[in-house]
């Protein structure tokens, strides 16, 4: 079934460009909005599968898009949300994702290619998660934990690399460990943070977010 998408960005040309990409990839763009109120009304009326939202929109040009995305996640949980931004708004990622890293994404406009954008759309629209590693890495680098999560220094190193999007093999190479040892550390991280079993890429993002919410 063709996924139905709404776009929200105050730049008409950028919206049209996104619409072209998505239409060419087989998605059905059912609406376009230039501010948060229009997006809320559009989603309530059209019930799309995915909303692609710019973080900063009118009237103030601050975080109206993000606030609307949080509203959508609460009022329309069946609608996936992919945020786009020119800026690192890392402090708000945990609020957006909440307790579930499903059907949500956060990409930086200046770091994403056409191919990466479409891959993220597919992942998020399918119930997955797509978060730019630079966003999560910044969160991890700028917050201090208070000891509520019982992680060892080595586990924190592994978690930091997970935040940057590194694979188990890459983490093993970076820390001069065996892949089996890395897997053991990751299992311990999941257990320490109380993460239930679910899709691996969801748990990797949730591990970072849970860790940061404890700070």
- Is domain 4-131 in CATH 3.40.50.2300, yes or no? yes
- What is the distance of C-alpha 104 from the center of its chain? 5
pTM summary value: 0.71
Task: Identify the pLDDT of residue 212.
Answer: 57
- Is domain 136-213 in CATH 3.40.430.10, yes or no? no
Average pLDDT, the chain: 81
Torsions phi, psi for 121 (to 5 deg): -60, -45
Q: Per-residue pLDDT tens for 27-62?
A: 999 999 999 899 999 999 999 999 999 988 877 667
Task: Identify the pLDDT of residue 99.
Answer: 57
Task: Identify the pLDDT of residue 30.
Answer: 97
Average pLDDT over residues 92-111: 73
Where do you find CATH 1.10.10.10 in the chain? 136-213
Task: Identify the pLDDT of residue 146.
Answer: 41
CB atoms within 10 A of CB 194: 8
Where do you find CATH 3.40.50.2300 in the chain? 4-131
pLDDT for 113 beyond 70: yes
Region of 3 on the Ramachandran plot (φ > 0 left; ψ -120 to 50 alpha; else beta): beta
């Amino acid at each position: 079934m063709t996924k139905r998408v709404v776009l929200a960005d105050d730049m008409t040309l950028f919206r049209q460009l996104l619409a072209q990409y998505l239409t060419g990839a087989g998605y059905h763009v059912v609406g376009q909005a230039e501010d948060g109120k229009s997006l809320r009304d559009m989603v309530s009326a059209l019930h799309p599968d995915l909303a692609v939202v710019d973080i900063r929109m009118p009237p103030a040009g601050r975080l109206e898009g993000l606030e609307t995305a949080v509203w959508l996640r609460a009022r329309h949980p069946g609608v996936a949300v992919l945020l786009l931004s020119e800026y690192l708004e890392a402090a708000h990622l945990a609020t957006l994702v909440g307790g579930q890293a499903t059907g949500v994404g956060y990409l930086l406009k200046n770091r994403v290619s056409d191919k990466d954008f479409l891959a993220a759309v597919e992942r998020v629209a399918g119930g997955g998660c797509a978060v730019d590693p630079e966003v999560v890495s910044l969160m991890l680098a700028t917050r201090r934990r208070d000891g509520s999560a019982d992680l060892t220094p080595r586990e924190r190193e592994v978690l930091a690399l997970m935040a940057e999007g590194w694979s188990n093999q890459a983490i093993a190479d970076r820390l001069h460990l065996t892949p089996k040892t890395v897997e053991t550390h990751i299992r311990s991280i999941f257990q320490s943070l109380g993460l239930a079993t679910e899709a691996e890429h969801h748990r990797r993002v949730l591990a970072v977010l849970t860790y940061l919410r404890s700070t």
